[in-house]
Amino acid sequence: GAGVSQSPSNKVTEKGKDVELRCDPISGHTALYWYRQSLGQGLEFLIYFQGNSAPDKSGLPSDRFSAERTGGSVSTLTIQRTQQEDSAVYLCASAASGPNSPLHFGNGTRLTVT
């Protein structure tokens, strides 16, 4: 079966521009997560969705970051007025409902802000 799909795989943008990152989770997975991974750093939690709701947005670094999920499936992470410190790999993961469900990750979007 298909895994988690993220697009684009790479994105280079100029400082100040807006970007949209897309995540297609595994079909039937109700939980969806966005993480950020900087070079040599661990996984930084950004936001968690259960269905279309986001009970925890506490990891979003600033109000320039927003995310939505529609139809309990596809999610979009939007970064407005990008800054150089936003450069990182943005990873999406999904999980089935129920406790102890492992996260299944996509291959990420590598964002470079010039």
Partner 1 sequence: EDQVTQSPEALRLQEGESSSLNCSYTVSGLRGLFWYRQDPGKGPEFLFTLYSAGEEKEKERLKATLTKKESFLHITAPKPEDSATYLCAVQPHSGTYKYIFGTGTRLKVLA
Binding residues for partner 1 (CB under 8 A): 4, 31, 33, 41-43, 45, 48, 50, 55-56, 91, 93, 99-100, 102-108
Nearer to partner 1, 93 or 113 (CB): 93
- Asked if 72 contacts 30 with a C-beta cutoff of 8 angstroms, the reply is yes
Q: Residue 85 phi/psi, 5° resolution?
A: -70, -5
Q: Using CA atoms, how far apart are residues 3 and 13, in angstroms rounded to an integer?
A: 27
Question: What are residue 95's DSSP bridge partners?
Answer: 31
Closest separation between CB of residue 16 and partner 1, Å? 27
Closest separation between CB of residue 48 and partner 1, Å? 6
Closest separation between CB of residue 81 and partner 1, Å? 27
Report the SS3 class of residue 25: coil
Nearer to partner 1, 76 or 80 (CB): 76
